[in-house]
Amino acid sequence: MAKRLSFPSRGGGRRARGSPRRRGSRRRSGLVAVAYAIGLAVLARLLLVQGFRVPSRSMEDTLLAGEYLLVDKISYGLRVPVVGWRLPGWARPRAGDLVVFESAQQSERLYVKRCVAVAGQVVEGRQKVIYVDGVRTVDPPHSKYMDPRILEANVSPRDSFGPVRVPPGAVFVVGDNRDLSRDSRHWGPLPLRAIVGRARLIYWSYRLLAPLEPSGRASALSRLLALPSHLRWARLGATVK
C-alpha cells in the first residue's frame, strides 16, 4: 500500500495570532503614543498656553485667590525657552488687558495685573483716581477699594503718585483690588520682557476649604464629598475681562 505523503499546512511557520511578539509590539506602540501625547502637552505648555493659579487677592473681584487661569502665551509674541528671545506676536498689551508676568525679584513667581497704560502715555494717581494722559480712567466693573482712607503720596504711592511717563518697552499695571495690590504704583512700569502672556479664561474655581484635620480618612472623605458644593460653577470656563 502506498504511503501517504503529508505536507506542511500553508503558513504553518507563522506565529499564531495574539502571540507574545505581537502583543509586545502593540504594547510598545501604546507607550510611544503616550510618550508623544505627553511630549505634545509639555510643548504646548512651554510654547502656547499655560495654567496659572491666582496667588493673592490683588485682583478681586475680577479674579479670586486660588482660581486657575489659562494664559495665552503667543498673542504678545512667543518667548523661546532658555535663550529668552521673543518672536513677533500679532498683538501688544493694551489698556484693559490682564497680563501675567514674572516677578522682578523671583522669576519663578508669576503674578497677574491689569494694564492701564502703555509706552509713551503719562499716568498719574490723585486720591485713588488714576488718570492717563490727563483723562480719568474708568474703574473695571469688578474692581474695588477696601480702605476708606486716602494716603498722602509721601506716605505711600497707593492713592497718589506721579505723573509717570511709561518708557518704551514697558506698560503700567495695577491690581483691580486697588487698596490691596502692590503694582506699578509701587515698583514702576513693567518691562514687556517680563510678560509671560495674557490671561484668557478661568478653568477652575472653588471656595477654599478648611485645612485637613488630623483625624485622617474621614476628614479627607468629607472634603471630597463637599467639593461640588464649593465649586463656583458660574465661573468655570468664564473669560476674563
Q: What is the pLDDT of residue 94?
A: 96
Q: What is the pLDDT of residues 4-19, one digit of tens each?
A: 544 444 544 454 455 6
Closest CA to 131 of 154, 157, 160: 160
| 73 is a catalytic site residue | no
Per annotation, catalytic residue among 6, 29, 58, 241? 58
Instruction: Tell whether 125 is covered by a domain.
Output: yes
Closest CA to 179 of 206, 218, 224, 144: 144
CATH number at residue 53: 2.10.109.10
Higher pLDDT, 195 or 226: 195
Instruction: Tell whether 16 is covered by a domain.
Output: no
Report angle CA 38, 91, 75 to the nearest 5 degrees.
5
Q: What is the pLDDT of residue 230?
A: 83
Instruction: Tell whether 56 is covered by a domain.
Output: yes
Q: What does pLDDT average to over the chain?
A: 82
Domain count, the chain: 1
| 128 is a catalytic site residue | no
Which pTM value belongs to this model? 0.76
Q: How confident is the model at residue 221 (pLDDT cuts 50, 70, 90)?
A: confident
Contacts 24+ apart (CB under 8 A), 232-238: 232/64, 232/205, 232/206, 232/207, 235/64, 235/67, 235/202, 235/205, 236/202, 236/203, 236/204, 236/205, 237/201, 237/202, 237/203, 238/201, 238/202
Distances (CA, A) of 34 to 37, 39, 41: 5, 8, 11
Instruction: Strand 135-136: give its sheet, edge to edge.
Output: 135-136, 129-132, 122-126, 161-165
Instruction: Tell whether 151 is covered by a domain.
Output: yes
Per annotation, catalytic residue among 3, 56, 73, 113? 113
Give residue 191's domain range: 49-211
Instruction: Tell whether 58 is covered by a domain.
Output: yes
Average pLDDT over residues 203-219: 63
Instruction: Tell whether 199 is covered by a domain.
Output: yes
Q: What is the pLDDT of residues 108-152, one digit of tens each?
A: 789 999 999 999 999 999 999 999 999 999 999 999 999 999 999
Q: What is the pLDDT of residues 15-31, one digit of tens each?
A: 445 566 665 565 665 55
* Count of CB atoms situated within 10 Å of the CB of 129: 13
